[in-house]
Structure 1
Amino acid sequence: MMDQHLVAVITGASRGIGKGIALALGRRGATVYVVGRTTVSGTQVSAGGIPVPGSIHEAADEVTAAGGRGIAVASDLADDDAIRALFEQVGRESGHVDILVNNAASLHDQMGTRPFWEAPLKLADIIDVGLRCHHVATWHAARLLIAARRGLIVNISFYGNGRVHDPAYYAAKAGLDKLASVYAEDFTPYNVAAVSLWPGYVKTERAEMIVGDATELIEGMGMESPDYCGRVISALWDDPEMMALTGGTLIAAELGERYGVVDRPGFSPKSLRAFYGAPHPQFDRV
């Protein structure tokens, strides 16, 4: 469904899931604000010191090539003033926001170090860029979402109630789930839904640098394409009963199955709830 009036803001969209979501919404004709810090591809590096491809400008160009209107916005989400400026720009240019995807995260090469105190304290930054910044973004976006008369907030989270490999990371993800449930109460009178979405293993640029073209490994792990979550979000937006899911923590693979979203020919991702654990019962929407 083409929708040239649809306006979306995607944070952390230089690459990975954020870029995939931006592309999926671009394919339906949306105006997509591609938000991130990387303005030049290759300036971010992997754990092995290898440059990681992707920039906001490349992603925005791909959104436009896909049929949408990609607008690159360089923004450091650790800076509250930068977040304010982002939404002031969106307000001036578009007047409203239909879909806000809170995806940015401050990741670190030493995540998973046990015990946690052997890892640098800098890992705690994900609570700032990964949780707090999304609350600030949603605060600034609120009036623009309400102005649209129908809106959707998606917090990109992860399976946070099962296995734990880094306390700050999982505290941030659990916080995103809780934020969605609280937002739902305040936004429901304005027809704005708020959900937390759990992707599975995703073949991002960083992951691809590790597994390469190992097709058997990729299929064996059930790795999702970066745009899979975007197509699930697009299907959720098209659901006339979207508000029935507000406040929920949703597993992308389960929601995709519900809407008939196929990742690629012959493959649909499987839910990892049996391995990692289910969402908190208060938020679970099976």
Structure 2
Amino acid sequence: MINDGERREAQTENVALVTGASRGVGRGIALGLLAAGFRVYGSGRSIEQADLPREIRRLRCDHLQDEETAAVFEAIRSECGSLDLLVNCAWGGYEKMVEGGAFTWAAPFWEQPPHRWTGMMDAGVRAAFVCSAHAARMMTPRHRGLIINISFWAAQRHLGNTIYGIAKAATDKMTSDMAVELRPFGIPVISLYPGLVRTESVLAAAKSGMFDLSTSESPEFIGRVVNALFHDPNLMARTGQVLVAAAVAKEFGVLDVDGSSPPALTLGDV
């Protein structure tokens, strides 16, 4: 139970919710925002077992279940009274890439298993839509807030499989249209593209030579970029746009945790 004193203290901080914070990019964003001074909430199906510091408030949630998503926002409203930043990172579809001994991830659309659509479109795009709707209800009365949707270059060219491209293109279109409707309230919405991120799965794949990590980014790097965007006084000029995280980092002088400056990938690079 949060007492009144703790609630007043929370209201002096910027409050952020990162969905899909149990692992990977979402976990890195949560860590980056915590280091930047945010009061961070992280949601996810396995968030209770996640390797996160105790300062991050864990809210167990399957974002396929609307009532569980609603409970996350109600908890933030009860404990803080407001929400300043939502980062939609919850995502499915990377599970079961190999099924029955076959690598189905890159299969043509007519051979794709139905669960991949559910993982990417429902646990990904739809979950971001529902979370953004809850966040907007908290942000619009205050005319304050920022929504960031984590997306990728698959929105702009074929990468991996058709469902992946559909999901990322839908995410970018959702960003664009939400920005139009939230503009009168001064609330920007951004699609943010990471580069090659050293997530748990990428590090495992790199051991087999699948990835060259020389230009990769730490998961925390994306959190640092999100923090820079949040504090950009001119961010409304870019609402509705797709931004490349490493390019934003160069603009604001943001470095990775090891002091490096990851290169900004282009469509040609991917």
TM-score by length of 2: 0.86
**Alignment-derived partner of residue 80 in structure 1:** 66
Distance 1:136 1:266, change over 3 A: closer
Structure-2 separation of matches of 1:275 and 1:4: 44
Is residue 21 from structure 1 mapped to residue 29 from structure 2 by the alignment?
yes
Q: How many angstroms apart in 2 are the aligned matches of 1:60 and 1:168?
A: 34
Aligned partners of 2:53 and 2:147: how far apart in 1? 21
SS in 1 for 2:42: strand
Report the counterpart of residue 115 of structure 1 in structure 2.
Answer: 108
Per-residue deviation at 1:141? 1.3
**2-side partners of 1:253 and 1:112: how far apart?**
27
Checking the alignment, whether the CA contact within 8 Å between 2:147 and 2:190 is kept in structure 1 is yes
**In structure 2, what is the Cα distance between the partners aligned to 1:276 and 1:120?**
29
User: What are the superposed Cα offsets for residues 254-282 of structure 1, whole Å, 9 maximum, x if unpaired?
Assistant: 111111111244632222224257xxxxx
Identity, in percent, stands at: 37
Which consecutive residues of structure 2, in runs of 5 or more, have no partner in the other structure? Answer: 1-10, 98-103
Alignment check: 8 A CA contact 2:48 2:60 kept? no
Query: 1:192 aligns to what?
Result: 187
Q: Which amino acid aligns with 1:201?
A: L
Contact 2:29 2:221 survives alignment (8 Å): yes
Q: Which residue is equivalent to 2:20?
A: 12
Tell me what 2:223 maps to. 230
Q: Is the 8 A contact 2:158 2:165 kept in 1?
A: no
Structure 1 residue corresponding to 2:44, chosen from 36, 39, 54? 36
Aligned residue among 69, 89, 97 for 2:83: 97
Q: Helix, strand or coil: the match of 1:34? A: strand
C-alpha contact 1:262 1:268 (8 A) present in aligned 2: yes
The answer for the alignment partner of 1:168 in structure 2 is 163
Helix, strand or coil at the partner of 1:227: helix
Structure 1 pair 276–147 and aligned structure 2 pair: CA distance change class (3 A): farther
Residues paired across the two proteins, number: 250
Residues 1-286 of structure 1: matches in 2 within 5 Å?
A: 5-39=13-47, 41=49, 55=50, 58-61=51-54, 64=55, 70-107=56-93, 108-110=95-97, 112-125=105-118, 126-159=120-153, 160-212=155-207, 217-219=212-214, 222-265=215-258, 267-275=260-268
Local SS of the residue matching 1:256: helix
1:191 partner letter = G
Whole-Å separation in 1 of the counterparts to 2:267 and 2:190: 21
Q: How much does 1:163 deviate?
A: 3.0
What is the RMSD of the two structures over their aligned residues, measured on CA atoms? 2.1
Tell me how far 1:230 sits from its aligned partner. 0.8
Deviations 1:85-116 (A, max 9, x none): 11111111111110000011112332532223
Does the 8 Å CA contact 1:158/1:173 hold for their aligned counterparts? yes
5+ residue gaps, structure 1, are 42-54, 65-69, 278-286
TM value normalised by structure 1: 0.81
What is the deviation of 1:241? 0.6
Retained in 2: the 8 A contact 1:124–1:168? yes
